[in-house]
Structure 1
Amino acid sequence: MKGLFEAGEDPISEREDDADINSVAGLLKLYFRQLDEKLFPQYIFEDLEKCAHISNIEERVTKIRQIILNIPESVLIVMRYLFAFLNHLSQNSDENMMDAYNIAVCFGPTLLPVPDNCDQVACQANVNEVIKVGNCLKPKTNIYFV
């Protein structure tokens, strides 16, 4: 599937298997896992992880936005498209069971991996909360928290 996609082909155009959606999601996660520099740069991990402890959702989004807007523009563009897609995916959660929480659990470890020197279990819950917030809110700018 990866080879076909990289060759400009549509690897699922002639398939009608419902499992293909899982393959596409797996391929998307694979691309993000294989990036030399993760989508969320490691140097902002600690600041983002702390945001999960902000109880007021508007304050949390504002703080996350402040952190995110300081990363390179090329990364912001990818984030905008990705979170727009993930938000669209969650809009159909009645059919696909992928609400903001499930998307965060699925994509959080790939997009914002917990550093080895951190408590993996405790930090992963916070990572999922950051990804969930980014996926379920749509501010006036129409670009989620990015």
Structure 2
Amino acid sequence: MFPLLSPQGVMETFVCVCVCVCVCMYSTCLCVFLQVVGLYRLCGSAAVKKELREAFERDSLGVELCENTYPDINVITGVLKDYLRELPYPLITKHLYETVLDSMAQRPLRIGAGGCENDPADTEHTVSLLENLPEVERLTLRRLLDHLKLVASYHEVNKMTCQNLAVCFGPVLLSQRQEASCHSNRVFIDSEELASALHFKKHIEVLHYLLQLWPGNLHHGDTLQY
């Protein structure tokens, strides 16, 4: 948890964590970590994770992620997953969750021997689904999906397919932690609806759908400001 940070402070810190983790794996010196078998399945040292989290919360812009400082990539990925899990409200909101479920029914995945065989229009539609998110959440989720798609592109080496990544991140991105506030589009009010939303299988299916249709190497015109 983040006892000293406001919900807005938590979100701002998370944006920095997300950007740092995603960008660091694009760098030449750390791209080897994309080939680590089981990337995002392991958590790393709890003590080192605590140290890194405290560094982010003291000065998120001043944290330098490098191989010499944090040689165990599982520490870095573990911190990212912790922040996702502990956000005051999930990046994938109730509205987006329901919109993706509708798309899954209307534009089902077509998986062949060579992978996803959906039309380019389905990919364009999937990207457009994020447009109704608040700006920070939209840009952050885009960056995260870009990153996870990159990780999946190394699946023959790291064994982290879109399905395996969805298993790791689906329940995290659709966390049961909800913001008890007036943001009705972010709160699951009905108890039956909540029980359904917490069904891990659906969480996994929703993220798997997004990852399969998400374009690789997508360069967005928007930039994250933090």
Corresponding pairs, count: 141
Matches for 1:15-26 after TM superposition, within 5 Å = 20-26=72-78
Residue 29 of structure 1 corresponds to which residue in structure 2?
A: 81
**Which one of the candidate residues 160, 163, 169 is aligned to 1:107?**
169
**Which one of the candidate residues 68, 73, 80 is aligned to 1:14?**
68
Q: Which amino acid aligns with 1:83?
A: L
Q: Which amino acid aligns with 2:79?
A: L
Kindly, what percent of the aligned residue pairs are identical?
Answer: 25
Is the Cα contact below 8 Å between 2:126 and 2:214 reproduced in 1?
Answer: no
Q: Which amino acid aligns with 1:70?
A: N
TM-superposed CA distance for 1:37, in Å, is 2.2
Is the Cα contact below 8 Å between 1:51 and 1:60 reproduced in 2?
Answer: no
Q: Which runs of 5+ in 1 are unaligned?
A: none
1:118 corresponds to 2:195: yes
What per-residue deviation string (whole Å, max 9, x for no partner) do you get for residues 71-104 of structure 1? 2222211111111111111111122111101110
Q: RMSD of the TM alignment (CA)?
A: 3.3
- Cα distance change on mapping 1:14 and 1:141 into 2, 3 Å: closer
TM-superposed CA distance for 1:68, in Å, is 2.7
- Cα distance change on mapping 1:53 and 1:25 into 2, 3 Å: farther
What per-residue deviation string (whole Å, max 9, x for no partner) do you get for residues 48-78 of structure 1? 3454445633587676555432122222111
Larger Rg: 2
TM-score scaled by length of structure 2: 0.50
Residue 79 of structure 1 corresponds to which residue in structure 2?
A: 141
- Distance in 2 of aligned mates of 1:62 and 1:118: 31
1:3 corresponds to 2:79: no
Q: Which runs of 5+ in 2 are unaligned?
A: 1-51, 110-117, 177-187, 221-226
Is the Cα contact below 8 Å between 2:167 and 2:204 reproduced in 1?
Answer: yes
Q: Which amino acid aligns with 1:104?
A: A
TM-score scaled by length of structure 1: 0.72
Q: Which amino acid aligns with 1:109?
A: P
- Distance in 1 of aligned mates of 2:122 and 2:166: 16
Matches for 1:56-71 after TM superposition, within 5 Å = 56-57=108-109, 58=118, 64-65=126-127, 67-71=129-133
1:90 corresponds to 2:144: no
